[in-house]
Amino acid sequence: MKYAKLFLALSIIMAVAIAPVSGAFAQTDAENSEIQTDKEQRKAYSKEIKEQRQSLKDQLKDLNDQRKNRLGDTFDERIQNVEFTLSVEGITSGWAIVEGKAFPAEYILNVDAGHAEKRGIVFSGIGTIFIGDREVTFDLKGFAKNNRVHINGVSQDDDSIKIHLKGHFAPIADSEDSYALAFTRATITAESSDVKVPLVLVGDVTVTPTITDEPVVDETDSEDVATDVLDLLT
């Protein structure tokens, strides 16, 4: 009887001692399950956000491609009948902002130009920019009208590197065929890495006619005429 009472007492003590522990384990399991569910939900939400961002990036890329086509192939179609009668050469210099720091920059412009209906003056040629010890040459297309100039370019070495130049120009006083040029909204972009390098460039260019109205003298014909005249005189 004494052992029976002792056994009963031990059973009660064990039940009291184990019950909270079991409840704690049960509570811990529930909390872990809830935390795991929350993590999975957040992971799924994060994945959905990434997919939406990628979808937006793809849409923006498509829009950019369409815009580039308008400035590319369509631009070529508009100027294919333009006669380039001018040569534009010059240098602009200023600053390029790379990772928050300004570096000296120099941009050499060498393009052909011609008059296009409704477009004003259109350009096609090359431009080379020097930033520090780096050098990049771009194939350029653009136009100028009402003292405004807009030029786009693609690197000859990497199609993902582009230059966008917007600014103003004005004839230089007492300097025939020379123009002051300022690119106040200019950037170099690397589409593959989303890197943008803002530019501020100021300088001047010289415009030279490549076709003149002066008659071309055929020196061979002149020599023949002179010979004929001498024959007649002698």
Residues 25-40: pLDDT tens digits? 455 666 667 777 777 7
Contacts with 72 (C-beta within 8 Å, 6 or more apart), sequence order: 141
Average the pLDDT over 55-61 and give the result. Answer: 66
Residue 228 has pLDDT above 60, yes or no: no
Residue listed under structure tokens 């080379």: 128
Question: In the prediction, which pLDDT does 234 show?
Answer: 46
pLDDT tens string 126-165: 999 999 889 999 999 998 988 999 999 999 998 889 999 9
pTM listed for this prediction? 0.57
Question: In the prediction, which pLDDT does 46 show?
Answer: 79
Tokens of 152: 């786009």
